Structure 1
Amino acid sequence: MPDRILVLYGSYRSDRTGIRLANYLVRGLKGRGNDAQLLDAREIGLPMLDRMYKEYAPGDAPQAMQTLAEQLRIADAFVFVAGEYNWGVQPGLKNLTDHFLEEWFWRPAAVASYSAGRLSGVRANLAWHGTLSEMGMVVIPSTVAVGPIVKTLDENGAPIGEAGQALDRAFARFADDLAWWTAAAKHQRERTPPPY
């Protein structure tokens, strides 16, 4: 059975370059036999956080939130596509993430960052590691960092030039690492129920 991997992307900008990386990751994960799906925070359209999903009475959560909760619960792993805003995380992706808690537990997460500049979103990448760990995920040690993104991926998310070749090499290790942690987490959840 293929691994169910959700790729989460959170830019709300009209000219979104990070979608190139999100599409590249979905395609690459599918190419390795995974059931990979893009979850775009802008398309899902959750409101700014007022109440978490778990704070609604059963059946009362907005439909978009209910649907997303179900998708998160059956996922085997998550990939967060992290743009960097003023040395920090994207508010759209953070807002989507904060609506849930238990739905994230006991699965691995990976972070792929990007920026328009040469630092490749690494400060946001680092910030996500602590946040995702606090939310009950195991963050894998491998990462992908892309920058400048428009010199690495074309509009369709296809690698270009030397930077694109470097991304392909980094992705192979990143995907191998995620696959190992996903298999380990699945095995452990089947063997021993999570403690809470």
Structure 2
Amino acid sequence: MAKLEIILGSVRPGRIGLPIAQWMEQEARTHGGFSEVELVDLAEVNLPFFDEPHHPRQRKYVHEHTRRWSAKVDEADAFIMVTPEYNYGVSAVLKNALDFLSEEWNYKAVGFVSYGGVSAGTRAVQMTKQIVTTLRMVPVLDAVSVPWAMEMIEDGRFVANDVATGAAKAMLDELLKTDGHLSGLRQKKN
């Protein structure tokens, strides 16, 4: 079975992404298709702005924070990126985390949970899909898009409706199927 990492792509103080990511983590655990589920908070990872002198494809990392990030991404088989939308696009912290590495992302499935106002973060997801496919990741079609997400936070917790819960299950099912096809490609590249 596969390891799923849920990456929280916001570090903003007071962010609503954390309760949404925690909800997604619980949904993934309840789903039961993955052997391990881990929430990876980019606020805790605390990467500086990309500071490696060599191209990530070379994997000649000079900084310990990059080696730790590389190991964290390497150990995952699939990802869910929980992302806000900033100015019609991906958050700088998520883009930076993606740019730090190259091969560690290759041939891994990725799903998206986006949130925001009326657009529910969908424009950020569209932009991020262009980035992840360049990293040889395979985004699944099913996603969770949460419009007016602030209205679904109660006492610091995300209270999902049936639409969000159903979308989460569909996305997890697709991640599992897609990972089943990609795992052989990851083994061949080694």
Structure 1 and Structure 2 fold alike (TM over 0.5): yes
Aligned-partner SS, 1:85:
coil
Other-structure match for 1:7: 6
- Matches of 2:119 and 2:88, distance apart in 1: 10
Is 2:152 the partner of 1:152? yes
Percent sequence identity is 24
Does the 8 Å contact 2:9/2:82 carry over to 1? Answer: yes
Is 2:176 the partner of 1:179? yes
Other-structure match for 1:22: 21
Q: What is the aligned length?
A: 185
Does the 8 Å contact 2:84/2:91 carry over to 1? Answer: yes
- Matches of 2:130 and 2:148, distance apart in 1: 25
- Matches of 1:102 and 1:37, distance apart in 2: 20
Displacement of 1:144 in angstroms is 1.2
Structure 1 gap segments, 5+ residues each: none
Aligned-partner SS, 2:96:
helix
Alpha-carbon RMSD:
1.9
Displacement of 1:135 in angstroms is 1.1
Other-structure match for 1:128: 128
- Matches of 1:184 and 1:28, distance apart in 2: 23
Is 2:74 the partner of 1:77? no
Deviations 1:7-57 (A, max 9, x none): 111212111011122111111111122211111111111110121656674
Matches within 5 A, 1:185-196: 185-190=182-187, 193-194=188-189
- Matches of 1:17 and 1:172, distance apart in 2: 21
Matches within 5 A, 1:7-156: 7-33=6-32, 34=34, 35-51=36-52, 57=60, 60-62=62-64, 64-115=65-116, 117-154=117-154, 155-156=156-157
Compute the TM-score of the two structures, normalised by the length of structure 1: 0.86
Structure 2 gap segments, 5+ residues each: none
- 1:86 counterpart letter in structure 2: N
Does the 8 Å contact 2:84/2:121 carry over to 1? Answer: yes
Does the 8 Å contact 2:142/2:170 carry over to 1? Answer: yes
In structure 2, the CA distance between the partners of 1:174 and 1:153, relative to structure 1 (3 Å rule), is farther
- Matches of 2:10 and 2:185, distance apart in 1: 34
Compute the TM-score of the two structures, normalised by the length of structure 2: 0.89
